[in-house]
């Protein structure tokens, strides 16, 4: 009887696997910072239109992995990435790839809000302008408004579009950064602890935004807040000492994870 149900479970899983489409695939990804190895052969796939949360203690490699997904590690001179990462089956570490274009397709939001020291309007318009996404002023106005709308900032910002972005509150600045990331119509948005500098209300707004963005974008978020990962994501990946410990449905990960290290980490216990 047990064998029957196991077989049934496996069948259901197979079906599920076949229905899933992967936006990005990471195969045997390792990262070295000089002599120090930060990631060990990570195999992690990012599902399309899904929020994937990366969790784990500090220094576990989750941010390192995140930064591999749009080649942000290229900016660190000593960093070396091995393995293969694809975006829509295209190798993003292929020398023929235009990194600027890659980063337009795979946008990023950082831990601290970092608006350009320019007007709110210019913060949003900068990306579309360099990528040639708007032909005239009217189109650019359109892009700016749509981006601010989607980031839930339009009502607060529409009367002060030409004031400096740095004059906004922390939560508004972070949503401005998200609007800036959206403005170039990325396919994937990477978020590195986007709420760690925000108060609970601003955090809730950003989480609500992540929830809405999921229908159009694929999102990968690094967070230290277990509750946040549980709230916003559908898949969760746990990292520990540079290894991917496990990846599973978020509901499963936070109620009954397979690995003892995950269990200990999410419950706040000593391993």
Partner 1 sequence: MPSTHITSAYDEELKYLTRRISEMGGLAEQMCADAVRALVNADGALAQKVISDDAVLDHAEREIGEKAIITIAKRQPMAADLREIIGSLRIAADLERVGDLGKNTAKRVIAVQESGIPRNLARGIEHLSELALIQLKEVLDVYATRSVEKAEAIRQRDEEIDAMYTSLFRELLTYMMEDPRNITSCTHLLFCAKNIERIGDHATNIAETIYYMATGHQPEGERPKDDRSNTLSAILSDD
Q: Largest Cα–Cα distance in the chain?
A: 69
* Residue 47, SS3 per DSSP: strand
What are 206's two structure tokens?
Answer: 């950003």
The stretch among 16-24, 25-33, 146-154, 250-258 that binds partner 1 (CB under 8 A) is 250-258
Toward partner 1, which CB reaches closer, 132 or 271?
Answer: 271
# of chain residues touching partner 1 (CB under 8 A): 19
Per DSSP bridges, beta strands 218-222 and 243-249 are: unpaired
The verdict on 266 binding partner 1 (CB under 8 A) reads: yes
Instruction: Give, in order, the Cα–Cα distances in Å from 14 to each of 124, 182, 256.
Output: 43, 34, 21
CB of 156 to partner 1, least distance (A): 30
Give the one residue of 4, 5, 47, 199 binding partner 1; rule: CB under 8 A: 5
Q: Taking CB under 8 A as the criterion, which residues in 132-171 touch partner 1? A: none
Among 143, 179, 257, 261, binds partner 1 (CB under 8 A): 257
81 three-class SS: strand
Closer to partner 1 by CB, 68 or 245: give it: 245
> Does 271 interact with partner 1 (rule: CB under 8 A)?
yes
Give the span between the Cα atoms of 123 and 162, in whole angstroms: 10
Question: For partner 1, which residue of 227, 234, 237, 243 counts as binding (CB under 8 A)?
Answer: 227
The tokens for 236 are 């969760």
Q: How far is CA 239 from the centre of its chain?
A: 15
Does residue 231 contact residue 206 with C-beta atoms inside 8 Å?
no
Q: Is 15 in the site for partner 1 (CB under 8 A)?
A: no
- Residue-wise over 50-60: b if at least 16 C-beta within 10 A, else e? bbbbbbbeeeb
- Least distance from partner 1 to the Cβ atom of residue 226, Å: 6
Identify which of residues 1 and 100 has a Cβ nearer to partner 1 in the complex.
Answer: 1
Q: Of 113 and 257, which CB lies nearer to partner 1 in the complex structure?
A: 257
Binding of partner 1 by 200 (CB under 8 A): no
- Residue 270 binds partner 1, judged by CB under 8 A: yes
**Can you tell me whether residue 40 is helix, strand or coil?**
strand
List strand residue ranges (DSSP E) for 88-207, in order. Answer: 90-91, 106-109, 188-192
- Which residues neighbour 193 within 8 Å (Cβ) at sequence distance 6 or greater? 111, 222, 223, 224
Among 68, 180, 47, CA closest to 194: 180
- Smallest separation (angstroms) from partner 1 to the CB of 271: 7
Nearest residue (CB) to partner 1, 67 versus 231 = 231
Q: Does 268 bind partner 1 (CB under 8 A)?
A: yes
The window from 9-17, 60-68, 175-183, 260-268 that contacts partner 1 (CB under 8 A) reads: 260-268
Q: Which of 3, 96 has the CB closer to partner 1?
A: 3
Q: Which residues bind partner 1 (CB under 8 A)?
A: 1-2, 5, 226-227, 230, 254-257, 260, 263-264, 266-271
């Amino acid at each position: 009887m047990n064998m029957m149900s196991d077989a049934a479970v496996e069948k259901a899983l197979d079906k599920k696997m076949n229905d899933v489409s992967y936006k990005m695939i990471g195969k045997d990804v390792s990262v070295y910072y000089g002599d120090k190895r930060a990631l060990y052969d990570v195999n992690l796939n990012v599902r399309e239109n899904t929020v994937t949360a990366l969790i784990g203690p500090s220094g576990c490699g989750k941010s390192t992995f995140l930064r591999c997904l749009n080649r942000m590690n290229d900016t660190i001179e000593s960093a070396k990435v091995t393995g293969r990462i694809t975006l829509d089956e295209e190798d993003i570490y292929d020398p023929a790839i235009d990194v600027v274009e890659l980063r337009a397709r795979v946008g990023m939001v950082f831990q601290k809000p970092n608006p350009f020291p320019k007007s709110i309007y210019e913060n949003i318009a900068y990306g579309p302008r360099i990528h040639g996404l708007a032909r005239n002023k009217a189109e650019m106005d359109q892009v700016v408004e749509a981006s601010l709308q989607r980031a839930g900032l339009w009502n607060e910002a529409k009367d002060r579009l030409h004031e400096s972005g740095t004059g906004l509150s922390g939560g508004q600045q972070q949503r401005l950064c998200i609007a800036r990331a959206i403005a170039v119509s990325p396919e994937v948005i990477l978020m590195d602890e986007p709420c760690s500098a925000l108060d609970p209300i601003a955090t809730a707004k950003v989480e609500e935004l992540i929830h809405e963005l999921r229908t159009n974008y694929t999102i990968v978020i690094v967070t230290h807040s277990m509750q946040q990962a549980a709230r916003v994501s559908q898949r969760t990946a746990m990292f520990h000492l540079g290894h991917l410990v496990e990846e599973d449905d978020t509901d499963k990960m936070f109620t009954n994870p397979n690995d003892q290290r995950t269990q200990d980490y999410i419950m706040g216990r000593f391993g």
